[in-house]
Amino acid sequence: MKTANWTFLFILAAISIGLAPQTALAQNDEESIKQRLLDRVESVDALKLSGAVGENNKGFLEQRAMLNPEQTKTMNEENADRKALYTILANRLGLSVTVVGQGRAESIRNKSAPGVWIQQPSGQWTKE
């Protein structure tokens, strides 16, 4: 019986040690994602104000006009980081990534600058 208890405690300790770096890593990833999003704000805003991309009703940027390779890269990186952040938040809140994205899309719609393409929940695009 004592051997079983020690084995159980050893396994529990190993699991705890193994999970600690993952938790720290997840937080680090979240902070890294947020920092990249902040670093990209000016470029993303310029794309939106030019009308080249808009904010869709899923919480992602969507191409609205021809983009050069650098603009495409910016849009794709932004969307990848948004998806990663939505996934982290969805897991934390017990929601789907889709619901988190739609909630973010609503927040973006409410705060959007004039002249930016916005997709309404109905799917219709408007320029706010």
Looking at the DSSP assignment, which residues form a beta bridge with residue 55?
61, 118
Tokens representing 69? 């390779």
Task: Output helix, strand, coil percentages for the chain, rounded to the nearest 5.
Answer: 70, 10, 20
pLDDT range class, residue 83, cuts 50, 70, 90: very high
Give the Å distances, CA to CA, from 9 to 4, 16, 20, 22, 128: 9, 10, 16, 20, 60
pLDDT range class, residue 91, cuts 50, 70, 90: very high
Percent of the chain with pLDDT over 90: 77
Tokens representing 24? 């720290």
Hey, is 120 helix, strand or coil?
coil
Residue 45 predicted with pLDDT over 50:
yes
How many Å apart are CA 34 and CA 59, to the nearest integer? 15
End-to-end CA distance of the chain: 70
